[in-house]
């Protein structure tokens, strides 16, 4: 039996499936009633028509054998995790975004893709999915990227059977990103670009793991990830949203066993004072304002007692156009790994963060950053002195 305790941000909500069932039931009733007036083809008719195209079979990342069109021209991802991934690999094949991008975020997206329609997400909180809208745009394949447990497989198979669109499961774990690029690259006919991005993934993970392995246990930096309007929410150890801290060799002070792998748990000032982290990282989620800032913490009667604040080791997470740490926990975390290593273990890092940011945004986000844009992205995110600083160059 599948567990009902699923990591936040990856699972399709019950609302989405109720919407799916109601839409399909309505379509079936309308078909059975019949009419003497000729009606335009429905989205379901379109899906059936396109299924006559030449097909091939692929084996997705959980081993399911799925028939797909020989030439995939259009693709959609069911969550923000997959949407960011798809944009980096083959934006020209995207049929839409899962959620709207703000004006500030759109400035870091390649111009041809800024006006793609918002089709809603089938996964995560704030579900806004529409089966009718999805079928109207008619993707050739749907990518379900995230967890690949039995529950996720069941939901994806149900969507495939009811919507008549191939649904491919893609492993969303950070250490599987290179393999994900290679798999989806074959699906979309984008093998050459996929190989380039996969190489960056492997090189980055290898370099970060080498750094992490070189840090003795007693020298590992203890971090607190401050989220929410007052900074008193966090992703504890064991949460998918916090796995990046383990990879980089940091110690997440929020060891909350009762959380059971869930994210965004509430903590108290008493717990914070007991943990007394070396570094505080202020998180960001789209649609929310930064609730706290390094300046606010420095002048706060409680936060100001923490070593991280006293030593001015409080950093704001870069988030344009996508959060570098999580939400969504997608390929945006690759540049986040290099950033974390830079602020936690600067003496171990061979790269310069501003140049690395330019490189990543050019290769993954299809944009050439100006000096002003780099400065904006890294605002309050780096030490104020040393090789990697916030100073504009």
Of 131 and 235, the one with more pLDDT: 235
Average pLDDT, integer, range 20-42? 40
Span 271-311, pLDDT tens digits: 999 999 999 999 987 656 657 899 999 999 999 999 999 99
Query: Per-residue DSSP letters for 146-182?
Result: E--SHHHHHHHHHHHHHHTS-EEEEE--GGGHHHHHH
Residue of 333, 273, 339, 336 lying closest to 306 (CA atoms)? 273
pLDDT of residue 324: 97
Residue 121's pLDDT band (cuts 50, 70, 90)? confident
The CATH topology of domain 216-377 is Rossmann fold (3.40.50)
DSSP state of 221: P
Domain ranges of the chain: 14-170, 216-377
Of 124 and 201, the one with more pLDDT: 201
Span 316-373, pLDDT tens digits: 999 999 999 988 999 999 999 999 999 999 999 999 999 999 999 999 999 999 999 9
Residue of 102, 62, 42, 110 lying closest to 286 (CA atoms)? 102
How far is Cα 263 from Cα 376, in angstroms, rounded to an integer? 28
pLDDT of residue 50: 45
pLDDT of residue 261: 61
What does pLDDT average to over the chain? 85
pLDDT of residue 20: 47
Residue of 323, 329, 123, 145 lying closest to 246 (CA atoms)? 329
Average pLDDT, integer, range 253-274? 85
pLDDT of residue 37: 41
Q: Worst-scoring range by mean pLDDT, 51-60, 65-74, 274-283, 358-367? A: 51-60
User: Is domain 14-170 in CATH 3.40.50.1980, yes or no?
Assistant: yes
Of 339 and 156, the one with more pLDDT: 339
How far is Cα 199 from Cα 43, in angstroms, rounded to an integer? 39
Average pLDDT, integer, range 94-99? 95
Let me know if the fold of 14-170 is the same as that of 216-377. yes
Residue 240's pLDDT band (cuts 50, 70, 90)? confident
Q: What is the value of pTM for the model shown?
A: 0.83
Average pLDDT, integer, range 101-110? 96
């Amino acid at each position: 039996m599948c567990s009902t305790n699923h990591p936040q941000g990856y699972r399709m909500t019950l609302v989405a499936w109720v919407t799916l069932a109601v839409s399909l039931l309505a379509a079936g009733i309308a078909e059975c009633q019949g009419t003497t007036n000729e009606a335009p083809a429905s989205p379901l008719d379109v899906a059936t028509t396109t299924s006559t195209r030449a097909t091939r079979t692929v084996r997705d990342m959980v081993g399911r054998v799925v028939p797909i069109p020989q030439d995939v021209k259009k693709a959609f991802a069911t969550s923000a995790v997959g949407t960011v991934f798809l944009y980096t690999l083959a934006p020209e094949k995207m049929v839409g975004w899962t959620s709207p991008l703000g004006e500030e975020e759109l400035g870091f997206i390649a111009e041809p893709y800024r006006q793609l329609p918002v089709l809603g997400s089938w996964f995560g909180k704030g579900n806004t999915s529409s089966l009718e809208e999805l079928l109207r745009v008619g993707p050739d394949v749907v990518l379900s990227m995230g967890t690949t447990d039995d529950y996720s497989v069941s939901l994806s198979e149900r969507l495939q059977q009811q919507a008549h669109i191939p649904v491919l499961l893609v492993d969303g774990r950070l250490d599987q990103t290179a393999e994900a690029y290679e798999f989806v690259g074959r699906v979309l006919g984008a093998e050459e670009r996929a190989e380039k991005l996969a190489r960056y993934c492997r090189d980055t993970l290898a370099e970060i793991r080498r750094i992490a392995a070189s840090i003795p246990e007693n020298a590992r930096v203890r971090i607190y990830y401050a989220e929410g309007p007052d900074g008193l929410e966090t992703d504890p150890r064991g949460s998918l949203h916090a796995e990046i801290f383990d990879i980089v060799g940091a110690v997440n002070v929020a060891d909350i066993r009762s959380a059971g792998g869930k994210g965004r748990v509430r903590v108290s000032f008493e717990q914070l004072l007991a943990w007394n982290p070396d570094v505080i990282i202020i998180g960001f989620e789209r649609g929310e304002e930064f609730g706290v800032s390094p300046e606010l913490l420095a002048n706060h009667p409680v936060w100001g007692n923490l070593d991280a604040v006293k030593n001015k080791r409080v950093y704001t997470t870069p988030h344009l156009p996508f959060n570098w740490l999580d939400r969504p926990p997608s390929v945006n975390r690759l540049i986040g790994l290099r950033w974390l290593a830079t602020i936690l273990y600067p003496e171990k890092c061979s790269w310069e963060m501003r140049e690395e940011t330019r490189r990543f945004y050019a290769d993954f986000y299809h944009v050439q950053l100006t000096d002003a844009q780099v400065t904006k992205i890294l605002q309050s995110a780096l030490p104020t002195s040393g090789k990697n600083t916030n100073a504009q160059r």
